[in-house]
A and B are shown apart, each in its own frame.
Chain A
Amino acid sequence: MSRNGPFALLFHALVVLFMLAPLAVVCLVAFTPENTLSLPTTHFSLRWFEAVFERADFIDAFYNSLILAFCAASLATLIAVPAALAITRHEFPGKGFFNGLFLSPIIIPHLVLGVALLRLFALMGVNGSFGWLIFAHVLVITPYVLRLVLASAIGLDRSAEHAAQSLGAGRFTLFRQITLPMILPGVAGGWLLAFINSFDEVTLSIFVTSPATQTLPVRMYVYATESIDPMMAAVSALVIALTAVTMILLDRVYGLDRVLVGKQ
């Protein structure tokens, strides 16, 4: 393999700088002792992090997002795993259509899904309900779980399953003892990816949340359109930290490079 020349490496350094600069700046400004959006020059201060914890609206929004992401990712997994098994190991008319339908929320703009669900929820009189918000999120994150579970269920060696079956294992035992352990990296990775996507979702949520069910990204979006102060940087830094922890977990259970660029 040939090596990169100096120009290539300079280009690469600029791209990396471009990708990381906005995140680095957010994390630095979060520690500013000043009242303005400035980089800390003399010393670091935690005053803006303290300010975040005094804002009940942000704390509530954070818990809303956490509960929402947890419930939505779990429900999406419960829905995606059987669907993935149906697609990989059963032949039935309409299978190709089902597969396309289940992955379609990835290519439909979240904004269009948001206004469509707003209409449905308004007609049902349930707009702003937390339960329906969970289902709205399940819809947009199911494709992510489905993709990862499909990838781990395709090309699975089925001899262990046949052996268990011929020894008289029931359907449920077969799934719990043989199939699930084999697809577990895909299931756990899918759950985490779904969790991150639900936790970050803003475009759809902004249409179907009420002030009481506002999620953290929606709260942040609304706050940022009204005013910007270093507290916003502190919240953002906390979100970056939480995402980083989830990403490390994702890397451990499934491999971050496999999630991002597919199987290697």
Chain B
Amino acid sequence: MSLLANLRQGRHGYLLSAPALILYFALLIVPLALTFVLSFNVFDYGTGIQANAYTTEHYRSLLSDPYFYEIFLRTLWISALTTLLCVLIGVPEAYILSRMGTPWRSIFLILILTPLLISVVVRAFGWSLLLGADGLVNQVLQALGGSPMKLLYTPFAVVIALVHVMLPFMIIPVWTSLQKLDPAAEHAALSLGASHFTVMRQVILPQVMPGVLSGTLIVFGLAASSFAIPGLLGGRRLKMVATLIYDQYLSELNWPMGAAIAVALLLLNLAIMLSWNRMIEGRYKKSLG
């Protein structure tokens, strides 16, 4: 069939998706394109954005200014550490959940995953209550004879709260791949004399790896662009990329610089997602023959 005939035959499909298409064109594609253009506009603190003058200066200072450099590096290590902790906590937890009996399994699954639906501002506030100078954690430390520590407005507070927010995003994909696991394989390995550790390493882990990897991807991407957590728990000095963009837009009013950082963040996110995706596909094609 020719393309024209295909198009004609699909007209109901186009008609039904037209409202969504208009919305996404007007409010997604156009604004992203405008922001990309904006990131090349010349900016002057006296007169503002120069509409018809273009420069690559913002991208160059992004690469050369140690201030930006440091914030990008901090964002990377905080997101990487958050992701690692989510793997170390989320994978065993999903496995434990999957081995629970019937009422408990769904009760705990919902209990652990529903914080996902509660506003991130509320959760950040909860952590600032726990980690504050006279918060619960410090009170417990003092009761145990320790001295109070400065926890709030440190990278530690940001990482802890990010793990709390991101953990469900790790547990969900791991849980999903555990559901596809055939318990017979585990029993077969055990009855052939394999130890629990061997079963874990040789039978279970390889099969949940796709879930772990897609969880890693989501967690890293969300952590690297998180805004409210570093904004509320990092304080004014501990900037991450998202809070840096916020400052450029709303305090410095240097929109082109902010746009350049936002474009860099988006590209970095997409690059990590795509390369990771390709790596996983390659690896699984190989290992599954």
Contacts and interface: CB of A to CB of B under 8 A. Distances in A.
Contacts, number: 260
A15 B89 contact: yes
Given A206-B246, A221-B121, A261 B109 contact: yes
Interface of B: 3, 6-7, 9-17, 19-21, 23-24, 27-28, 30-32, 34-35, 38, 89, 92-93, 96-97, 99-100, 106, 108-130, 132, 134-136, 161, 164, 167-168, 172, 175-176, 179, 183, 186, 221-222, 225, 227-228, 231-232, 242, 245-246, 249-250, 255, 258-259, 262, 265-266, 269-270, 273
Nearest to B31: A116
Determine the main DSSP class of A at the interface with B: helix
Tell which of B3, B11, B116, B183 has the most Cβ of chain A within 10 Å. B116
A239 B23 contact: no
Contacts of A146: 20
B128 A200 contact: no
B254 to A, nearest CB: 12
A3 interface: yes
Given A115-B262, A256-B110, 4 more contacts: A9-B96, A108-B269, A247-B117, A262-B172
A211 to B, nearest CB: 13
Interface in A65-123: 78-80, 82-83, 85-87, 90-93, 95, 98, 101-102, 104-105, 107-113, 115-120, 123
For this complex, into which size category does the number of interface residues on chain A fall?
A: 35 or more
A214 interface: no
A8 B96 contact: yes
Contacts of B179: 264
A29 B97 CA distance: 31
Contact of B10 (A16, A91, A102): A91
Contacts of B120: 200, 202
11 contacts: A22-B127, A78-B19, A85-B16, A92-B6, A112-B35, A118-B249, A120-B30, A138-B23, A224-B121, A236-B119, A236-B126
A150 interface: no
Contacts of A119: 31, 34-35, 38, 255, 259
